[in-house]
Amino acid sequence: MRRFALAAVLVLAALPAAAADLWETLPPTPTPIPTGRQGEAPVDGVKIHYAIYGQGSPVVFLHGGLANTNYWGNQVPAVAAHHTVILVDSRGHGRSTRDARPYGYDLMADDVVALLDHLGIPKADVVGWSDGAILGLDLALRHKDHVGKVFAFAANTLPSGVKDGVEKNPTFAAYIERAGHEYAELSATPKEYDAFVEQIGKMWAEQPNWTGAQLEMIDAPVLVVDGDHDEAIKREHTEYIAATVPHAGLLILPNVSHFAFLQDPKLFNDAILHFLGDD
């Protein structure tokens, strides 16, 4: 019996560890895609980094909190085949600078409008992830003339829509650590990541804080999207947003999380193109 037990242990030890499910992984941040159409636009006292690809009707991509434009590298080729893609580093993120004002979604949404004005783009569709999705909804609420469709992935419209302790989730914790290294590489203030996270955290604790009546004022076509294993956003909150925004659809992507655009780019890209009417 002892020999059998020992043999069983040795066999089990020799077996490879079970592979993580797709939604538990954090694939590498894509390498920046070269383009001759990029720069830093002077906007409201700061410099907002942008990069442009492709031709056609414009689509602005807005990244999540702590991130940068590099995260959209798996989306650019697919969407730029049909559209002019504009990637934007939100103020204080990536290559963009910031001033002393506290972070706020209204402030960052105003930056997007000012950038579009700088680029001579009167109106654009929006693809947003997390904070970027919140900015898309903010734009649809406060800058209706500048926004067409909004693809809102992993948004929340109240602080209570975020799961408690999300920062302790292994995948999310790995993202926060990675974002710190990227901040050090890209930012004009490379040693201020901890202060940056603290300041963004203050915004997350209080914003957004939209009422149902405010969401009902959005008249842009909106697709509310999330992964079926999102580490951060409560499913019932995602469903609430889709049920409250008048012209919203709901799409739950299978076997992915808050980082679906990295985990399953084809699935994510197909959803974008279908919503924009390009499939």
* pTM (two decimals): 0.93
User: What number is the average pLDDT over the span 55-74?
Assistant: 98
Domains and CATH numbers, the chain: 37-276 (3.40.50.1820)
What are all long-range contacts of 197-204, with beta carbons under 8 Å and residues at least 24 apart? Answer: 197/66, 199/92, 199/102, 199/103, 200/65, 200/66, 200/103, 202/102, 202/103, 203/102, 203/103, 203/104, 203/105, 204/65, 204/159, 204/162
Mean pLDDT of the chain: 93
pLDDT at 279: 63
Q: In the chain, what are the helix, strand and coil shares in percent, each to the nearest 5?
A: 45, 20, 40
* Sign of the alpha-carbon torsion through 158, 236, 167, 91: negative
Place of tokens 């780019």: 265
pLDDT at 6: 34
Q: Are 251 and 180 in contact (CB under 8 A)?
A: no
Contacts of 236 (CB under 8 A, 6+ apart): none
266: burial class by Cβ within 10 Å (0-12, 13-18, 19+)? Answer: exposed
Q: How many CB atoms lie within 10 A of CB 38?
A: 16
Of 246 and 1, the structure prediction assigns the larger pLDDT to 246
pLDDT at 19: 72
User: What number is the average pLDDT over the span 243-263?
Assistant: 98
pLDDT at 8: 36
Q: Please give the DSSP secondary-structure letter assigned to residue 182.
A: H
pLDDT at 18: 58
* pLDDT tens per residue, range 161-181: 999 999 999 999 999 999 999
User: What number is the average pLDDT over the span 124-150?
Assistant: 98
Q: Please give the DSSP secondary-structure letter assigned to residue 88.
A: E
* pLDDT tens per residue, range 92-136: 999 999 999 999 999 999 999 999 999 999 999 999 999 999 999
User: What number is the average pLDDT over the span 125-152?
Assistant: 98
